[in-house]
Amino acid sequence: MAAKVFGIDFGTSTIKIYRKNEGVIFDQKNLIALCNGQAVAIGDEAFRMLGKAPDNYTITYPVKNGVIADINNMLILLNEAFAQIEKKVGKITGSEIIVATPTDITEVEQRAYFDLASNCIAKPKKVRIVQKPIACAIGTGLEVMNASGVMVVDIGADTTEISIMSIGGIVSSKLVPIGGNTFDSLIINNVRKKYNLIIGNATAETLKKELAFACEPEHLTYKICGKDVLSGLPIDMEMDSEMITETISESLYQIVDNVKAILENAPPEISADIMDSGIFIAGGSANIRNIDKLFASETMLDINICEDPSNNVVKGLGIILESGSKYNSVAFASGQISRIG
């Protein structure tokens, strides 16, 4: 029988859905486009409209700062994602869903993830919740069920989730509102201030990917096109890695300071474990060059950058789904689903 078991990572920038026995089956921008209030596109299709749509369009991210900010649009987007999946794999009603949720959020915010999955068109029989850091650690290949403490720092789009785990549970966790989008906004502001040049989010993200270093930048340059503040006309200009690195530096140090604070408050036995294993860095922003060097020099610990870092959470959900009852204690149901018919 075809598997109807799914794992979902509702990221701020991307939504990823894993299907048991198959792998990641949906990986698109977590974005919805509305025209006069009606949904007209989701995911990557909505992303292609960003910055180009007429005034009667609204293009929004339903997840903000790591939590579901707009539950109605998130449900429309999720239903459309499942409709696309159903076209590929056949009937999905009566499924089972595992959702990854941040740890350091309110009970009401946690509950929204459960309700969302319960009410989607997959009409699940069962919805289970896994804490994101646990899924991330499992996706990184760490043995979270044993008694050794581990630290994972997931630097995503809107947030950085810093967590210490031991014996399949969270010892401490903090959701810091800094991530890749913060760096993009800082780049937009600084390019305008320094060069009188207006650029959009996509250009700022490209500059970050091409030129950002967490520390010790090599000299690289990249040519962009923006709008001159004074003349309003499009012009080309060359940017360099030193400027981009300096622009994002303070925010990176804020992340490092939060990591140090969590380490300082960790129980001594767990600190000793982290001394041995080092810190694991995941999330798409872990791709910033020399981020390992910055964390190593500031914490004096070994730093491990996870392989394919933006997929660690969804990979972890996949491992939980595929491994029978091994992870039953980390994936728990958080309410009853009552369904008529």
Beta-strand ranges (E) seen in 132-242 are 150-155, 160-166, 169-176, 197-198, 221-228, 234-240
User: In degrees, to the nearest 5, what angle opens at C-alpha 274 toward C-alphas 269 and 279?
Assistant: 160
Taking the complex as a whole, how short is the minimal distance between the CB of residue 286 and ligand ATP, in angstroms? Answer: 8
User: In degrees, to the nearest 5, what angle opens at C-alpha 122 toward C-alphas 121 and 128?
Assistant: 120
Taking the complex as a whole, how short is the minimal distance between the CB of residue 95 and ligand ATP, in angstroms? Answer: 23
Residue 159 binds: one of ligand ATP, Mg ion, none (C-beta under 5 to 8 A by kind): ligand ATP
The CB-nearest residue to Mg ion is 156
Cα–Cα distance measured from residue 64 to residue 11, given in angstroms and rounded to the nearest whole number? 9
User: In degrees, to the nearest 5, what angle opens at C-alpha 336 toward C-alphas 126 and 128?
Assistant: 40
Query: Nearer to Mg ion by C-beta: 11 or 226?
Result: 11
Query: Nearer to ligand ATP by C-beta: 66 or 92?
Result: 66
Nearest CA among 261, 251, 315, 238 for reference residue 288: 251
Nearest CA among 63, 65, 69, 57 for reference residue 16: 63
Residue 179 binds: one of Mg ion, ligand ATP, none (C-beta under 5 to 8 A by kind): ligand ATP
Residue 189, both tokens = 């502001």
Taking the complex as a whole, how short is the minimal distance between the CB of residue 55 and ligand ATP, in angstroms? Answer: 27
DSSP string, 109-160: HHHHHHHHHHTSTT--SEEEEEEHHHHHHHHTT--TTSS--EEEEEE-SS-E
Our finding on whether 11 is near Mg ion (CB under 5 A) is yes
DSSP 289: B
Our finding on whether 156 is near Mg ion (CB under 5 A) is yes
Query: Nearer to Mg ion by C-beta: 139 or 217?
Result: 139
Residue 158 binds: one of ligand ATP, Mg ion, none (C-beta under 5 to 8 A by kind): ligand ATP
Which residue has 């598997």 as its token pair? 3
Taking the complex as a whole, how short is the minimal distance between the CB of residue 204 and ligand ATP, in angstroms? Answer: 9
Query: Nearer to Mg ion by C-beta: 19 or 315?
Result: 315
Taking the complex as a whole, how short is the minimal distance between the CB of residue 314 and ligand ATP, in angstroms? Answer: 9
Taking the complex as a whole, how short is the minimal distance between the CB of residue 15 and Mg ion, in angstroms? Answer: 10
Residue 191, both tokens = 């390019």
HSE value, Cβ hemisphere, 13 Å, CA-based, for 249: 11
Residues near ligand ATP (CB under 6 A) are 11-14, 66, 156-159, 179-181, 205, 208-209, 212, 283-285, 287-288, 310
Percent of the chain as helix, strand, coil, to the nearest 5: 40, 30, 35
Residue 314 binds: one of ligand ATP, Mg ion, none (C-beta under 5 to 8 A by kind): none
Residue 151 binds: one of Mg ion, ligand ATP, none (C-beta under 5 to 8 A by kind): none
Query: Nearer to Mg ion by C-beta: 9 or 80?
Result: 9
User: For the window 256-295, what string marks contact with Mg ion as x by the rule CB under 5 A?
Assistant: ----------------------------------------
Residues found near Mg ion in the complex (CB under 5 A): 11, 156
